[in-house]
Amino acid sequence: MHCADTSAIRGRFLDIQQTVSQPEEIAPQIRYIEDGLLLCKAGKIVWFGAWADVDPTLIDGLAIAHYPDQLITPGFIDTHIHFPQTEMMGAYGEQLLSWLNNYTFPTEIKFKDKAYADQIADFFVNELIKNGTTTALVFCTVHPESVDALFEVAARKNMRLIAGKVMMDRHAPEALCDTAESSYTESKQLIEKWHEKGRALYAITPRFVPTSTDEQLSLAGKLKQEFPTVYVHTHLSENKDEIAWVKSLFPNHAGYLDVYHQYGLTGQRSVFAHCIHLEDDEWQCMHDTDSAIAFCPTSNLFLGSGLFSLRKAWQKGVKVGLGTDVGGGTSFSQLQTLSEAYKVQQLQGDKLSAFEAFYHATLGGAKSLDLDDRLGNFSVGKEADFIVIDVNATPIQQLRQSHAKTIEDSLFALFTLGDDRNIVATYIDGQKVYSA
């Protein structure tokens, strides 16, 4: 055990022991250890439990990082975010389609320049880590250079990121369009270069149905057949005008999701962002194909897209992860994202409990990315990605936390009032990569 790559962390730990199918099943799976120890070796968890149960020979000679006053949780998982949109967060006054044309596309054109992509990728990854996000499913741009830039930065941190080149061959500026054939060829080259190299995973990434021809969607499906372990990452039913546009472009399909489904793009590692306005048969298709939804509350509110129902997703048995959706989303922080998620449910007469929120940000997010065998809690053998949180980061939090009577109440106050200031340290692959 006493290798240079063994690290020991002591403190208050909170995780969820296994994935669930209903929110009421979460509380019995909560594991809270007031004084615990986590041992990591070569990026994996090799021992976890109460300090009182530690065999002294396990820690003989080890330097122990002790966080007696903080809370240690699995790292947050962001299931939908656009790294090239980092610089255009908070762009004023539009809904989805005009926002894309007025802000997004002009910004993304810059990413043909590898040096520029490198600069933003570096900023983006550091921002994730500073906010306690240790894994993310990421949109790049149509340029292969943007994918290389992101994966290169992530590799330096040994960070588990999933990303892909956007496929887009119509209804966008010429400088941002590929062709069906070039998108297939470039994506294939990127898959061979990056997928499952280190901790990198690749996602086939058609932007959304309106910006791809039949031919391009067909070739995206061909890629999925050729590389069955890669992901599919796209958008679905975010905005009512978008849905009407899809129906006009593909009148012979049963609906928006049916277009993806007929091209073989649904499935276990297919993640669809938003899904606010799904019809009943689409919910059923999501369930039947084991596809996942990325719920992006700050973006849905900012762009006026609508209110996503977590209750419906539970009822229909569809996996849900949490997405910041920067730059339609307005924060890299999953704490702030959960605060907005709570309000979105409140507006629909539902409540989002602290434990359910925690589930979506950690183990539930891992499940939605088909990574719950590797990430999301402190089970021995899993990858050692975790964060250290100060629940008293500001005076108002200090006051509020002093009145919290349970860990659930404390957690709810953290999600409601917290942001990047609460993240004391971020560990990726067992190593500290950020310290406040």
Q: What is the mean pLDDT of each run of 10 residues along the chain (436 residues)?
A: 74 98 97 98 97 92 95 98 95 86 92 97 98 98 97 98 98 95 98 98 97 97 98 97 96 97 98 98 98 98 96 98 96 98 98 98 98 98 98 98 97 98 98 96
pLDDT of residue 1: 42
| 423-428 vs 386-389, strand pairing mode | antiparallel
Q: What are 104's two structure tokens? A: 């997004």
Residue whose tokens read 């000679």: 61
Contacts of 434 (CB under 8 A, 6+ apart): 126, 129, 130, 423, 425, 426
Maximum distance among all Cα pairs of the chain, rounded to whole angstroms: 68
CB contact set of 164 (below 8 Å; sequence gap of 6+): 139, 140, 147, 187, 190, 202, 203, 204, 205, 231, 233
* Per-residue confidence (pLDDT) for residue 97, from 0 to 100: 83
**Residue 4's pLDDT is what?**
56
| DSSP SS3 for 135 | strand
> What are the structural domains of the chain?
6-74+376-435 (2.30.40.10), 76-332 (3.20.20.140)
- Residue 25 CB contacts under 8 Å (≥ 6 apart), including other chains: none
- What's this model's pTM, rounded to 2 decimal places? 0.97
Structure tokens at 214: 């039949």
The answer to whether 410 touches 96, Cβ cutoff 8 Å, is no
